[in-house]
């Protein structure tokens, strides 16, 4: 049951990230990478929420991980990191 809920949450994170990518006119070739970034961010949040209580520290850790992901992709794809955030 928990695995099913996590799977649905990850798919929703991918869809939401791609939706925002479409809203902000991200290039179509980067939409998959944006979706993966959303999935990584939510997975990191769920992982750290299991370790720490509350919302602040898991959100901070997930934001840090997503920022590192966006910076790496910005350099690889020669785009701004804001496109992947």
Handedness of CA 55, 58, 63, 66 (dihedral sign): negative
Task: In whole angstroms, give the CA distance from residue 25 to residue 31.
Answer: 10
pLDDT at 1: 67
Separation of alpha carbons 2 and 72, rounded Å: 31
Tens of pLDDT along the chain (85 residues)?
678 999 999 999 999 999 999 999 998 999 999 999 999 999 999 999 999 999 999 999 999 999 999 999 999 999 888 888 8
Model pTM score = 0.89
Per-residue pLDDT, 59: 95
Residue 7 confidence (pLDDT) = 93
């Amino acid at each position: 049951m928990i695995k099913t809920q996590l799977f649905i949450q990850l798919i929703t994170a991918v869809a939401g990230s791609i939706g925002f990518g479409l809203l902000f006119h991200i290039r179509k070739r980067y939409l998959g990478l944006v979706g993966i970034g959303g999935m990584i961010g939510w997975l990191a949040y769920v992982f750290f929420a299991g370790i720490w209580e509350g919302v602040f520290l898991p959100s901070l850790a997930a934001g840090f991980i997503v920022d590192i992901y966006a910076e790496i992709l910005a350099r690889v794809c020669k785009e701004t990191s804001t496109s992947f955030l």
